[in-house]
């Protein structure tokens, strides 16, 4: 059964001023698309912006690409359902992995000059693991694009009262238009704009919401009276065997979310890594996720807190006529005056378009460069692959429209997203981490380890849904499935490697830690990159320390 919004109850009272703000934004987005089109001459321009973007642009695009439905509706829904346990998705479930990507993995990706994450496996192993990972990436991309498109449809539905299917089709067509115009450059520069529009939307919503419930003290008192004091603690009740709303203990949080799912997502998810690959040099590529880590750790203040406010404003959320996904639209309807409401609606649409554009652009890159080019039509002119990329972009949007209705069956889309991450990203992370750090790993191990990990996660989740395995919550089941996928993929990869022949060490130069490929150690730093505040290690460890400090108020 689809969990549609109750349109009559959540219809937003917008006026001409709100629509004017929205139309101005749409005009600017399309203008950026037309401007970026002039720079698209080759397939590299379309898929990776010619690898010419500065770190501050790619860094903001990196965090904006993730600031789609996953953050806005999903994390607000998590805040309403799980409380301050949601902080774990940021402080332990994002920052360490983003730092690891910047410090350790980006040198492998960037120096190898691959155009996508799966292409690294082609160089490291060969065709079989490469094709399997490419198919997994392509499927995951369109499924996640569907989540963002569903969220986009929700807002348009609430804004105009359109049927959900109409809202999804119209929204998807608009996103398709600006990606087709300017490729990744259009998507990235729009994501930078969208980042600031999102802040302009969510900061007023949070401030007005806090004033409505009596500030942080009033919010704490109301939440404590209805949900218990543990609802505002990140770690209370997470001892092994203790019950809590998240249905997870500290071990599954740290290992399942903080290590397996987090590293699996942030280090291999091409929707984000693609932004770093488009940077102008290795220094900028490494700094991309490190720069993104700083705004990322403060996003809970404008996403999770509104979810908590929604619990106070609408106590029946999640149990009555409103789903947890409705937290943000509820607050917009009840709290914002016209004008500010127009900015808020524009910010939400910006967020969901950024998320969808990120996944569609990664889908067209992986399909064209990792499936079509090497296995379907080889050695064609570059113009052929540029055309295929544009056609596949349209196909990806159409498929995303279909997968949006899968997301509509979940009352909390974050549960659905975490399920997808456990299926796809965790097994990929196992394969990548072994491939980069263990010379003995073989091509056969890469294929069978990846396949086994994927099937293990899928089987664990099916057993949970069938009631054969007892796990307190769907999120808890996702954490467990991730751990099972990691261990299964790791075990099979190690065993198969011990019984098959690895590549000669000479063929692994530049692809495995501790090896160097001739010509790939060129110092390509731009003027100013040697400045102390641009040093990747300083940026990375600074982010880790700050994330640990932000935990303290919700842990003592």
Q: pLDDT at position 4, please?
A: 43
pLDDT band at 546 (very low <50, low <70, confident <90, very high): very high
Encode burial over 112-134: b for 16+ CB neighbours within 10 A, e otherwise.
Answer: eebbbbbbbbbbbbbebbbbbbb
Residue 93's φ and ψ, nearest 5 degrees, are -95, 5
In eight-state DSSP terms, residue 53 is: B
Decide if 12 contacts 159 (C-beta within 8 A): yes
Poorest-confidence range of 120-124, 201-205, 399-403, 409-413?
409-413
Whether the pLDDT of residue 519 is over 90: the answer is no
Instruction: Report how far residue 349's alpha carbon sits from residue 329's, in angstroms, rounded to the nearest whole number.
Output: 12
Instruction: Report how far residue 345's alpha carbon sits from residue 131's, in angstroms, rounded to the nearest whole number.
Output: 40
Q: pLDDT at position 2, please?
A: 41
Q: pLDDT at position 527, please?
A: 67
Q: Which residues pair with 279 in a beta bridge?
A: 53
Section 174-201 average pLDDT: 72
Q: pLDDT at position 339, please?
A: 81
Taking only the tens place, the pLDDT of each residue in 202-258 is 898 999 999 999 999 999 999 988 888 788 888 888 888 787 777 778 888 888 888
User: pLDDT: is 451 or 247 the higher one?
Assistant: 451
Decide if 332 contacts 81 (C-beta within 8 A): no
* Tally of CB atoms within 10 A around 228: 15
Coil, strand, or helix at residue 500?
Answer: coil
Taking only the tens place, the pLDDT of each residue in 349-362 is 777 776 677 778 78
Q: pLDDT at position 486, please?
A: 92
User: pLDDT: is 54 or 44 the higher one?
Assistant: 54
Q: pLDDT at position 135, please?
A: 92
Whether the pLDDT of residue 3 is over 50: the answer is no
Above pLDDT 90, what percent of the chain?
A: 24
Whether the pLDDT of residue 287 is over 90: the answer is yes
Element (H, E) at 510: none
Instruction: Report how far residue 64's alpha carbon sits from residue 190's, in angstroms, rounded to the nearest whole number.
Output: 9
Write down the mean pLDDT value for the chain. 82
Write down the domain spans for the chain. 2-515+526-554
CATH code for the part of the protein at 2-515+526-554: 1.20.1730.10
pLDDT band at 274 (very low <50, low <70, confident <90, very high): confident
Range with the largest mean pLDDT of 16-30, 422-436, 516-530, 533-547: 533-547
Decide if 330 contacts 312 (C-beta within 8 A): no
Section 255-281 average pLDDT: 83
Taking only the tens place, the pLDDT of each residue in 6-40 is 445 556 677 788 888 878 887 887 777 677 666 65
Give the ranges where 235-339 is alpha helix by DSSP (H). 250-251, 262-268, 270-277, 282-296, 300-313, 327-335
Whether the pLDDT of residue 88 is over 50: the answer is yes
Residue 279's φ and ψ, nearest 5 degrees, are -70, 160
User: pLDDT: is 123 or 318 the higher one?
Assistant: 123
Instruction: Report how far residue 518's alpha carbon sits from residue 503's, in angstroms, rounded to the nearest whole number.
Output: 18
Element (H, E) at 398: helix 382-407
User: pLDDT: is 9 or 172 the higher one?
Assistant: 172
pTM of the model: 0.80
pLDDT band at 398 (very low <50, low <70, confident <90, very high): confident
pLDDT band at 290 (very low <50, low <70, confident <90, very high): very high
Q: pLDDT at position 179, please?
A: 67
Taking only the tens place, the pLDDT of each residue in 189-204 is 777 777 888 888 889 8
Section 410-421 average pLDDT: 77
Q: What DSSP string describes 155-187?
A: HHHHHH---HHHHHHHHHHHHHHHHHHHHHHHH
Q: pLDDT at position 1, please?
A: 37
Contacts of 118 (CB under 8 A, 6+ apart): 130, 133, 134, 137, 270, 366, 370
CA atoms within 13 A on the CB side of 530: 4
Distance of CA 289 to the CA centre of its chain: 12
Decide if 437 contacts 513 (C-beta within 8 A): yes
Whether the pLDDT of residue 97 is over 60: the answer is yes
Decide if 386 contacts 46 (C-beta within 8 A): yes
Whether the pLDDT of residue 47 is over 60: the answer is no
Whether the pLDDT of residue 523 is over 70: the answer is no
């Amino acid at each position: 059964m689809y969990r549609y919004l109750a349109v009559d109850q959540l219809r937003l009272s917008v006026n001409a001023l709100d629509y004017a703000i929205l139309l101005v934004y749409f005009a600017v987005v399309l203008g950026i698309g037309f401007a970026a089109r002039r720079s698209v001459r080759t397939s590299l321009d379309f898929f990776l912006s010619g690898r010419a973007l500065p770190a501050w642009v790619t860094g903001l695009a990196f965090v904006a690409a993730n600031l789609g439905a996953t953050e806005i509706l999903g994390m607000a829904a998590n805040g309403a359902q799980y409380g301050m346990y949601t902080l774990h998705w940021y402080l332990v479930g994002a920052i360490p992995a983003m730092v690891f990507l910047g410090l350790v993995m980006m040198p492998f990706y960037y120096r190898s000059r691959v155009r996508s994450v799966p292409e690294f496996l082609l160089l490291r192993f060969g065709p079989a693991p490469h094709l399997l990972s490419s198919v997994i990436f392509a499927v995951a991309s369109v499924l996640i694009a569907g989540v963002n498109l569903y969220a986009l449809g929700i807002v348009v539905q609430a804004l105009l009262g359109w049927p959900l299917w109409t809202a999804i089709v119209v929204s998807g067509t608009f996103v398709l238009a600006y990606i087709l115009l300017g490729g990744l450059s259009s998507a990235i520069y729009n994501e930078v704009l969208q980042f600031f529009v999102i802040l302009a939307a969510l900061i007023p919503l949070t401030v007005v919401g806090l004033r409505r419930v009596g500030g942080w003290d009033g919010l704490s008192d109301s939440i404590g009276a209805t949900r218990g004091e543990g609802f505002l603690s990140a770690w209370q009740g997470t001892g092994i065997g203790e019950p809590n709303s998240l249905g997870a203990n500290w071990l599954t949080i740290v290992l399942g979310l903080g290590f397996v799912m987090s590293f699996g997502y942030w280090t291999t998810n091409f929707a984000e890594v693609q932004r770093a690959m488009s940077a102008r040099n290795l220094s900028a590529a490494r700094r991309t996720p490190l720069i993104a880590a700083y705004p990322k750790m403060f996003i809970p203040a404008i996403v999770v807190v509104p979810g908590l406010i929604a619990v106070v404003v609408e106590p029946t959320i999640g149990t009555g006529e409103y789903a947890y996904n409705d937290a943000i639209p509820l607050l917009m309807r009840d709290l914002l005056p016209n004008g500010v409401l127009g900015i808020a609606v524009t910010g939400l649409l910006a967020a969901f378009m950024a998320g969808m554009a990120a996944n569609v652009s990664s889908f067209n890159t992986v399909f064209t460069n990792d499936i079509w080019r090497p296995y379907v039509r080889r050695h064609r002119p570059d113009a052929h692959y540029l055309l295929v990329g544009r056609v596949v972009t349209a196909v990806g949007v159409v498929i995303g429209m279909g997968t949006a209705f899968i997301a509509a069956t979940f009352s909390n889309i974050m549960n659905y997203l975490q399920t997808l991450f456990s299926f796809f990203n965790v097994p990929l992370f196992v394969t990548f981490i072994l491939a980069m750090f263990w010379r003995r790993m073989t091509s056969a191990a890469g294929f069978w380890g990846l396949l086994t990990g994927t099937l293990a996660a899928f089987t664990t989740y099916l057993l949970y849904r069938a009631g054969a395995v007892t796990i307190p919550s769907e999120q808890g089941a996702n954490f467990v499935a991730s751990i099972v996928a990691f261990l299964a993929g790791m075990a099979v990869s190690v065993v198969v490697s011990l019984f098959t022949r690895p590549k000669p060490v000479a063929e692994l130069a530049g692809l495995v830690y501790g090896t160097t490929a001739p010509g790939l150690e060129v110092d390509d730093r731009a003027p100013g990159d040697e400045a102390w505040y641009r040093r990747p290690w300083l940026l990375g460890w600074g982010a880790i320390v700050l994330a640990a400090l932000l935990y303290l108020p919700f842990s003592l």
